[in-house]
Amino acid sequence: MIGSMQKTPTLPFFRVRLLPAALVAAACLAACAGEKSGQSGTAAATTVVMADVSAVEWRDTIEALGTARSNESVTLTAKVSETVRKVAFDSGDVVRAGDVIVDLSSGAQLAGLEEARAAYQEAERQLARGQELARSKIISESQLDTQRSTRDAAKARMDVVRAQLADRVITAPFDGILGLRRVSPGSLVTPGTAIATLDDISVIKLDFNVPERYLAVLSKGQDIVARSETYPDREFTGSVTSVDSRVDPVTRSLTVRAELPNPDRLLRPGMLLSVRLFQGARQAIVVPEIAVLQVGTDAFVYRVSPDRTATRVRVELGSRRRGEVEIVSGLAAGDTIVTEGAVKLRDGASVTSATESPAVAG
């Protein structure tokens, strides 16, 4: 009985534990195999946005930073030591060429001009009498020449005093906008004393440096676009007017000067501007940057075949501009690529178009 009692519970115990576990494992394996088989046989196409690639007009750009300068600029100063009699402007005034800026005291010069004018008029009268007497042979030609010289000297003296008076009236040499006023009535000014700055900013000269490797593609008349942080939504267009004749031996760069029309006087001398200089137009294959997948140093796009299969293609990138990149090699005009949804794809995946996207254009 003891041996019978030991054998009876052992066999049924293992049967109850092992049989259900084996059945469960077999069922799971069968289900997984069936699921994989169903997925490979009925995989749905991935919905993406596609576009046809075409050659478009492309202009390479050179980017740089430049400093704005006035079209004309001068610091108004006095030529003589004198007291300011009248200030005829205020800071920030817009003036025309010839407008009076400052009057200096000129009492002594006015008196000297009257004296010189009287001497000149007397010399004129003496010369007229001498000419009458010379015709009658009363005086000699040498005496007449002396009177003529006296008249000319008196006229020269009067011109000198007039020039001295002109030095005491400071005028604007060209149209422009005045800076801060630095003198007041009664101030004593001397040669070199700054009275105010005058800038013609109707046109802005923009100087910027570019590396010497671009020397061969620089030329007068090239278009530029400049932007300032002061006006983030505004672009200022202009053109290159000159290229410096020398390359800086330290920086290996050369200075390019462009001119920007500034009728609204938004730009001011000294402002820092970012510059894009455009080279000549050429034909290039261009795609949206979002269509390019970067894997390390390699770039790829998905090209779609006529049977709607996406193939990952390695491409070589060229120049960039906002939202677009040039494809140097790897694609040809007429190819269809995935422009949106490429991150969801794998090589050889089936795709379907979400929308009818227009051809890629620059």
Query: Can you state the angle between helices 107-135 and 141-167, rounded to 10 degrees?
Result: 160
Q: Report the distance separating Cα 243 and Cα 61, nearest Å.
A: 17
User: Worst-scoring range by mean pLDDT, 22-36, 89-103, 180-194, 195-209?
Assistant: 22-36
Confidence category of residue 109, pLDDT binned at 50, 70, 90: low
Q: Which two tokens mark 118?
A: 């009287």
Mean pLDDT of 79-87: 88
- pLDDT at position 34: 43
Q: What pLDDT is recorded for position 125? A: 86
Tell me the CATH class for 106-167.
mainly alpha
- Residue 110: what pLDDT? 67
For residue 277, is pLDDT > 90? yes
Our CA angle for 319, 320, 325, nearest 5°, is 95
**In this structure, are residues 191 and 77 in contact, taking their beta carbons and an 8 Å threshold?**
yes
Distance CA 14, CA 77 (A): 114
pLDDT tens, position by position, 146-184: 888 888 888 888 888 777 777 888 899 999 999 999 999
Return the pLDDT at 77.
Answer: 92
**pLDDT average, residue stretch 98-120:** 78
Q: What is the mean pLDDT of residues 101-119?
A: 76
Residue 12 has pLDDT above 50, yes or no: no
pLDDT of residue 164: 75
Q: What is the pTM of this model?
A: 0.63
Q: What is the pLDDT of residue 43?
A: 59
Residues 64, 261: Cα–Cα separation, whole Å: 19
Q: How crowded is the C-beta side of 339, counted as CA atoms within 13 Å?
A: 22
Domain with CATH 2.40.30.170 in the chain: 63-69+200-282
Q: What percentage of residues in the chain have a pLDDT greater than 70?
A: 84
Are residues 98 and 171 in contact, defined by beta-carbon separation less than 8 angstroms? yes
- More confident of the two residues 127 and 361: 127
Q: Quick one: pLDDT band at residue 68, thresholds 50, 70, 90?
A: very high
Per-residue pLDDT at 106: 66
Does the pLDDT of residue 315 top 60, yes or no?
Answer: yes
- For every residue of 87-111, DSSP letters joined together read E---TT-EE-TT-EEEEE--HHHHH
Q: Which CATH number fits domain 63-69+200-282: 3.40.50.620, 2.40.30.170, 1.10.150.20, 3.40.50.10300?
A: 2.40.30.170
pLDDT tens, residue by residue, 228-256:
999 999 999 999 999 999 999 999 999 99
Domain with CATH 1.10.287 in the chain: 106-167
> CATH number of 46-58+283-353: 2.160.20.60, 3.20.20.140, 3.90.1150.10, 2.40.420.20?
2.40.420.20
